[in-house]
Chain A
Amino acid sequence: MKKIFFIILLVLIIPINAYAHKPSDSYITLKRDGLNIIGKWDIAIIDLNYVFSLDSDLNGEITWGEVKNAKQKIIDYAFNRFSISLGEEKCKFELKDFLIEDHSDGHYISLLFYVLFPENKIKTVFDIKYNLLFDLDSQHRGILQIIHKERLITTIFSKDHKNEHFDLDSNNLIKTFIRFLREGIWHIWIGFDHILFLLSLLLTSVLIYKGNVLIPERSFKVALFNLVKIVTAFTISHSFTLAIATLKIVQLDSRFIESAIALSIMIASFKNILNFSKFKNWVVAFFFGLIHGFGFSSVLLDLGLNEKNIFIPLLSFNIGVELGQLAIVAFIFPILFYLKDNKNYKLFILNAGSVIIFIISFIWFIERAFNFSIITN
């Protein structure tokens, strides 16, 4: 028999699926108890031992007596790493009890405490900072649960997410509705690309083809009807894609969408310059509205939706977008209708306007499609 030489390998091949339990967590629960807000914070003894070496008699066993001896140290350590604040002011904490709690991976100390709000006024809007143990254990999580009006609000704090803003009544439907309605309106106002797209289509809505020549539309009614067709087609199609993208039924790459939106403006303005398309403006609005809907959706998703209640934000954001759009149209359309009879309308407004829009959207397209900065930083 050959005696083989001894090599120390770690042989880490085996332990892949061998695990006892979850990594380190602490659990904080906040709830109203009569006139007070009461908190319960469970922190694992094994984690505290890593910070303080609680085994003072060095016998390998950490007893309740040893933990009690370190009580003040533990409390100071914990509450220096957790805060509830309202702007500049911080809530104070008053310890009520110091007990033991059992979790799935062993014993925890359980700190029961009162949260004292400034001037004794309990608020529902505040910020929480949590920074326990992240410097020692990057897998540590702080699991915070707030029980508010029969609702459970859960937040997981991690090394990369130490702060959270809370607005406990934000689930209030009316508040939510108003918030997303405003966001929708605001987005149209600052979303210059949607405005330019609409404007390109509106420029010709006050004109009519006679043979191959565009002449001013005499009838306000007919022009208005043109406009309604464009706006309605755009609304139907972008609402559709806004919904399917927000519900994550269809998802597209954001760079693709942003580039396609720029392209849609290029085409709409180019069509005005060359009169090349037989397509009606409302058809163009409908087709490209599908793409603009995806763009609206990425804005809505960026606002951070609560997946449990997606319907109200979707609806109110959409209504906001429509209101914003109507406001723009209501402003621009009468001006265009007034100007259309001017002999220079076609040259200075329609053609020059379209060329400018084309140039802007062309730059956007290059920037977005090739990730290349021309005018914006």
Chain B
Amino acid sequence: MKHFLLLILILFIPSQVFSKPYLPENDNYVLLKLPSEIIGNKKSKINILKDKIGKNPEDEYSLVELTKEYIKLGRKTSDPRYFSYANLIVEKTIDKSQRKSEFYLLRGTIKQYNHNFISALEDLNKSLEINRHDPQAWLTRASVLQVIGKYNEAKKSCIPLIGLTNEVISSACIVSSTSLLGGLNQSISTFENIIQKNDISSLSEKGWIYSILAEMKERSGDFSGAEKYYKLGLNAEVDSVSLLTSYSDFLISQKRYKEVVSLLSNKSSSESLLVRLSIAEKKLSLPQYEEDLSKLKKMFFEEHLRGDFIHYREECLYDLYLLEDVESAYLLAVKNWNIQKEPIDIFLVLNLAMKANDKKTIDEVILFIKENKLEDVRLNKLIKDFQN
């Protein structure tokens, strides 16, 4: 079946996919701009660490630090290659390492990025078996558990953070899950109090903290509150792809397409942002839409060619809003729901299951929402409309 679909895909791919190779106009034609972290002569952390490791390949402290730097660069550029480079260091070192707990944590983090959630949890558990006092391991574990819909276990993984890290970080972790477990308004007011009480201006995690608040506010229906925190978050982290993604989802849900276009128009190298930008461009009938759509087609085509496609959520949005292929979008929403259970995943699968009148899936999703006492104004409205 997979081969058959691939064949269909190949038969119907846009002609741009097989563009012709060309000779650049002149020798100064720029083919790639490197992130400053890896430019050869810069005294960047990566270069310094590579030098140190070159002199002493057994220097485990530097190996751990270099792995972290590659993960950070992967986060910043959203280029999966840097996660591979990080992984290479881990795989070469972990078995003989004296710092196993750190390497397990790093490998778990890389697996989380690659959506290998179950395997990521195994590594994070191994890391915590060796060192139960590492706040990052508990935090990363909590975030993986939350993504796969195990909110209660996520909450439990946040508790040890109290005492291991500051109040803002530990409560950010805790409210992320309690807000999905029937305590939405309580979580918002507790967390707002905590960030008022503490000066968070110097914290490097500001963007993350504001995004948690923004998303909670959005779910509670306080859209102006959500707006405020999204903006604060983006002030703190201008290029955060995840913040831009959730803010543009928020704007799209409010039909504020023009703002989406101005927010994302110069940031379209990322697939998840390009999907959102194209949705807005389509709604506004902008001429740029056709070009961006063909870019997306090429992106998804090349991702599928690899045979290990994992970004069901983005492709679901692409199928639903751009290709308007509801059936295919629904298949992807179900696949995605089987792996990820964040509110947007739940909304997508429930909305499409209702359109498809798939009673079994509707019941399954509603049961999940009820069991967790999950509060979300948009989900609640969806269920209410359906039941009427």
Contact = CB atoms under 8 A, between A and B. Distances in A.
Contacts of A5: 166
Interface stretch (B34-42, B285-293, B359-367): B34-42
Contact of A138 (B88, B165, B295): B88
A169 interface: no
A15 B21 contact: no
B306 A141 contact: yes
B162 interface: no
B19 A102 contact: yes
Interface residues of B, number: 93
A64 B3 contact: no
A164 B27 CA distance: 38
A193 B6 CA distance: 39
B270 to A, nearest CB: 4
Interface residues of A, number: 69
Given A4-B203, A5-B166, A64-B27, A22 B299 contact: yes
B165 A9 contact: yes
B40 A14 contact: no
Contact of A19 (B23, B80, B88, B306): B80
A60 B36 CA distance: 7
B168 A4 contact: yes
B167 A60 contact: no
Interface in A105-154: 105-107, 110, 112, 136-141, 143, 152, 154
A101 B80 contact: no
B29 A64 contact: yes
B79 interface: yes
B266 interface: no
A1 interface: yes
B27 A65 contact: yes
Nearest to A8: B204
A334 interface: no
A60 B30 CA distance: 10
B84 A106 contact: no
Interface stretch (A41-49, A172-180, A266-274, A318-326): A41-49
Given A107-B32, A136-B85, A23 B80 contact: yes
A62 B32 contact: yes
A99 interface: yes
A104 B4 contact: no
A20 B112 CA distance: 16
Contacts of A42: 21
Nearest to A7: B165
30 contacts: A1-B198, A3-B199, A4-B203, A6-B203, A7-B135, A12-B71, A14-B211, A15-B241, A16-B113, A18-B78, A19-B113, A24-B84, A25-B302, A49-B34, A53-B40, A61-B34, A63-B30, A99-B21, A100-B24, A101-B19, A102-B19, A103-B298, A106-B32, A107-B31, A136-B84, A138-B84, A138-B87, A139-B80, A139-B83, A154-B6
Given A21-B80, A100-B24, A152-B7, 13 more contacts: A2-B198, A9-B169, A11-B139, A19-B113, A45-B32, A49-B32, A61-B30, A64-B24, A101-B21, A136-B88, A152-B10, A306-B3, A307-B3
Interface of B: 1-4, 6-7, 10, 19-24, 26-34, 36, 39-41, 68, 71-72, 74-75, 77-81, 83-85, 87-88, 91, 109, 112-114, 135-136, 139-140, 142-143, 147, 165-169, 173, 176, 197-200, 202-205, 207-208, 211, 240-243, 245, 269-272, 295, 298-299, 301-303, 305-308, 311, 313-314
